[in-house]
Structure 1
């Protein structure tokens, strides 16, 4: 596979590709936090080019290097915070690495452990490209206190670990929102392709919100998403694939599975009702679809996830 289209699902897969040790990283629940200086000890280091299938925050207390998102390059320096969402082509270089924390998480983790309507408070998570920001010392200390607590919980054996991490992640996201987005405009504000991607993600989120809320029971096709932006379906497909590394159909499938997992957490909602809410005419069709994408039946997933 070309490095230009390389999609990695989690840190373990990325570090495997780079030949880095990662035994202490547990990505099974869709969340990981680590200090990069414990992983990347032989510097300088340059990554492969890749497209992550996850969100990430990078908190640089003391380090230097470069970060590239699509065709934009940013310098890494102390007290810098980076946020990136799934899809953008990226790479990084580390020249000095003393104290840097990385947090990555999937949309499924956000919706299962934080809130099913996560984008209502944190719409910036849908922003196509976010410029890194160097914080004031007191601002970075506030952020640092939060990610240190999250790291301690991640390393614990608490049966409520994910719920505790989810709660602290809310505080962290509000701080990011406060420091980054009070007067923020995306750096791709005038880029038509990026506007198309952002609008598609918003339309995708809104449609599944309507499905979950019972406002509609019809699944949207690729053509429907193109129509919403008055675009030819081939053009929408080309833009989404080139900008995110995933097809429109793949985005829809991933979103369907994420929302299904959230609904399956509620034992009061039958599997048949979950299928109906997601626009499946038959529960058996939903079960086959879910198994195809997760290698589990909805009943098996519910039994595993709901204690």
Structure 2
């Protein structure tokens, strides 16, 4: 089903630069001047870090609006929808990288061991004190300087600085987690998140995911409740509702029946009942209230 929401890739911002594949870092004001279109809602196929040194405004990620505060870092994973409304004097740094760029070519599941890349349940934001922000800002500056000056082994240096930055942010992040604050997850939950992304439109039962992970449905449910505070069914329903919201707001060319069909619902009325139960409004009401 066609979707009009733009999905940007790193080359969309680096067309004139043949330096490093899968990576880009830039001053925020420079980026906004060159790419004004990024203020409108859109997706990326890469990971994004946004460090805000100072400024005012809001940053909206998948229908949650966050006020801008100094010394904040936002984290986005591929596929999330975001938009910002920033004051002209807002200053900071943007960093993009593909999963393949991560040191040693690690898989996406490895990146999700960083709590801020667990898009399901964790806050996509950490707000630092001035003292905490100093080493983080220095690493962003190191990345900018390295990126702007071609040198031997430049890609290796960028990967090393990126890994150090993520480790530093992980050490500052746990105390702000809405859950236990643990920085480790059972590996099965990384696999579950990947499976749900592949199959959520198919409305598979919990037993399908449990079998794929070589677990019993009961044990998988216990893992979810212990680590996420929700059942496996809750997670499956939340993922469907999030995609329904994205399509209702960002694909206005689709009518409600087409949205239902795109999400694997054969019965439009059943989709409407499901959405109202989970979101508190009918699809029509949600679209109108935007």
Question: Structure 1 regions of 5+ residues with no counterpart?
Answer: 16-21, 187-197, 207-219, 246-307
Aligned to 2:45, which of 43, 50, 53? 53
Secondary structure, aligned partner of 1:93: strand
Question: Is the counterpart of residue 80 in structure 1 residue 69 in structure 2?
Answer: no
Asked whether the equivalents of residues 62 and 77 of structure 1 are also in contact (C-alpha less than 8 Å), the reply is: yes
Partner of 1:103: 95
The CA deviation at 1:96 is 2.3
Question: Is the counterpart of residue 161 in structure 1 residue 154 in structure 2?
Answer: yes
Structure 1 residues 244 and 204, CA gap change in structure 2 (3 angstroms)? farther
Aligned length, in residue pairs: 211
Structure 1 residues 93 and 127, CA gap change in structure 2 (3 angstroms)? same
Task: State how far apart, in whole Å, the 2-side matches of 1:53 and 1:113 are.
Answer: 16
Aligned to 2:81, which of 85, 89, 93? 89
Task: State how far apart, in whole Å, the 2-side matches of 1:227 and 1:80 are.
Answer: 39
Partner of 1:6: 6
Secondary structure, aligned partner of 1:165: helix
Task: State how far apart, in whole Å, the 2-side matches of 1:200 and 1:116 are.
Answer: 13
Residues 174-225 of structure 1: CA distance to partner in whole angstroms, max 9, x if unpaired?
1111111245126xxxxxxxxxxx987533669xxxxxxxxxxxxx997699
Partner of 1:227: 208
Residues 38-64 of structure 1: CA distance to partner in whole angstroms, max 9, x if unpaired?
232499987121121111111111222
Structure 1 residues 52 and 96, CA gap change in structure 2 (3 angstroms)? same
Partner of 2:192: 203
Partner of 1:152: 145
Structure 1 stretch displaced more, 36-45 or 99-108: 36-45
Normalised to the residue count of structure 2, the TM-score between the two structures is 0.58
Task: State how far apart, in whole Å, the 2-side matches of 1:66 and 1:87 are.
Answer: 20
Partner of 2:57: 65
Secondary structure, aligned partner of 1:39: helix
Structure 1 residues 44 and 120, CA gap change in structure 2 (3 angstroms)? closer
The CA deviation at 1:134 is 2.4
Asked whether the equivalents of residues 61 and 99 of structure 1 are also in contact (C-alpha less than 8 Å), the reply is: yes
Normalised to the residue count of structure 1, the TM-score between the two structures is 0.55
Question: Structure 2 regions of 5+ residues with no counterpart?
Answer: 180-186, 211-216, 218-231, 248-290
